[in-house]
Structure formats: structure tokens, C-alpha cells
Copies of this chain bind each other. A is one copy, B any other.
Amino acid sequence: MIPGLGGKLPRSLIDLLWRDHPEAPTGGTRGPRARVSTGDVVDAAIRLADAHGLPAVTIRRLAEALEVSTMSIYTHVNSRDDLLVLMADATHGRMERSRFGRLGWRGRVQRVAESNLALLQAHPWLHEIDDDRTALGPGTIAKYDHELAALAPLDLAPVTCDAALTFLLDFVRASARALRPNPRSGELAQHWPEWSLRLETYLGEDFPLARTVGAAAGAAMGAAHSPSMAWDFGLARVLDALAALAPPRA
């Protein structure tokens, strides 16, 4: 390496994800001691997101919360995108993972579904993070391992087991998304009296099915509507679907 040019290479996302692992590179010991750690940054970001949503997680606000300058954040995290991955993996890692004990496969599946729902309700901003690299983190891998174990009694081929888990979790994610209180619901409710009238006019005689079911309006208005019903319905369907795969009795 050419001396005089500061050797720049930052710790890669992988190493940041596994920063608590004994084999992870610690970084040299010179220079002033770091006033905050990567973990501190991630924790503060999670607190911000929990309290005010993901858009509130800006580098500047983070720095303010940690009482450091804006640019210091980049010493501990390579970019905002990377930070989001670290946040998601950290919350995955903190999920409760209790033993399944003697629970049958249905009970296990239900438990996996419910704990994922709880996760997404506790941290709704997870919906807005869509980065495959999250799968590289220790928290996400531990979660994956645990949930695969839940499906073990079904005795499926590995790939099928993975597919089944994906199927289950995709359902949970979608339901959780629908269940989530919409930030725009206030505005919608405010304009609803006016808008529903217009909609009535526009719909006219068309779309008989849509009108009958009424979900177009219902969903839009945030009325009682289905999302919580969709959860029960969907979970029952997932169980049905897996049952069709399972050994006769388990």
C-alpha cells in the first residue's frame, strides 16, 4: 500500500452484521476511542424508527440523538442503505425464540405466524426495508434456522421445507401490512364524506361484484373491513395447504 495515502477500505457489511462474533475483525486500536459503536448507531436508529417511522431515520437526526457530528455516523456504518440492513437483522436477532416442546406442527406453524406478526407490529418499518443482504446477518439466519425447526415435524424435503416457510412468512408479511394502521387514514377519513359521494356517482351501475362486496369502499375508508378477518382466513388456509402436504397424522 502506498504510504501517504490513507488506506481506506471500510469494514464491509458482512463484518458489520457479525460484529459481535469472536472472529469478526475488530479494527485497529489506534486513535481516539470511538465515542459510539456500530451497535449504538443501530440501536439509536431502531429507537427512532419505532418512535417516528423510518423516514425519521436520517443520518443527521441519528447523529443528534447520539450527540456526535453528522459525518461521524459514517465511521460506524457505511451508508444509510447498509444501516437499514443492520437494523432489520438486529430486530430479527432479538425475536423471542422459545422451544416448541411437544407442540404439533399446527401449533408450531401458528406460533411462527404469530411471532412474525408481532414482530411486524412492533416494528412496522420493517415493511419498508427490502434488501436481500439482510439474509446474510446472524439475526436473520438464526431466525431462519429456528423457523425451519418449527416445520421439521412435517418431514419435508429441504427445498420443500424452505418453500413452505416462505409461503407462510409471505402470508404473514402481507397480512401484517394490511393490518398496519395507515398513516394516510386520517386524511382519508377527513375527506370521506365528500369522496364517497363522488365515488357513488362514478360507480353508477357498473362493477356489481365490487359494489356488493363493498370492499373497495370499505378498504379505502379504513372501516372495520377485513384485514383482521383476512388474518384468520389466511392462516386457516395456510394450515389447510400444509395439511395437504403432511403425513396423515402428526
A209 cross-chain contacts in B, Cβ below 8 A: 144-145, 148-149, 152
In the complex, are the beta carbons of A132 and B170 less than 8 A apart? no
In the complex, are the beta carbons of B162 and A213 less than 8 A apart? yes
Q: Using an 8 Å CB-CB cutoff, how does the interface string of A198-226 with B read, 1 for contact, 0 for none?
A: 11011100111110111110011010001
Residue in B144, B152, B226 whose CB lies within 8 Å of A159: B226
A199 cross-chain contacts in B, Cβ below 8 A: 14, 136
User: How many identical chains are in the complex?
Assistant: 2
A-side interface residues, number (CB < 8 Å)? 76
Q: Using an 8 Å CB-CB cutoff, how does the interface string of A152-166 with B read, 1 for contact, 0 for none?
A: 100000111111101
Give complex CA distance A201, B199 in Å: 59
Asked if A130 is at the interface of the complex by the 8 Å CB criterion, the answer is: yes
In the complex, are the beta carbons of A222 and B145 less than 8 A apart? no
Residue in B133, B164, B208 whose CB lies within 8 Å of A184: B133
Asked if A64 is at the interface of the complex by the 8 Å CB criterion, the answer is: no
9 contacting pairs across A/B (C-beta < 8 A): A14-B202, A130-B177, A132-B182, A136-B216, A145-B209, A160-B233, A162-B213, A163-B234, A170-B174
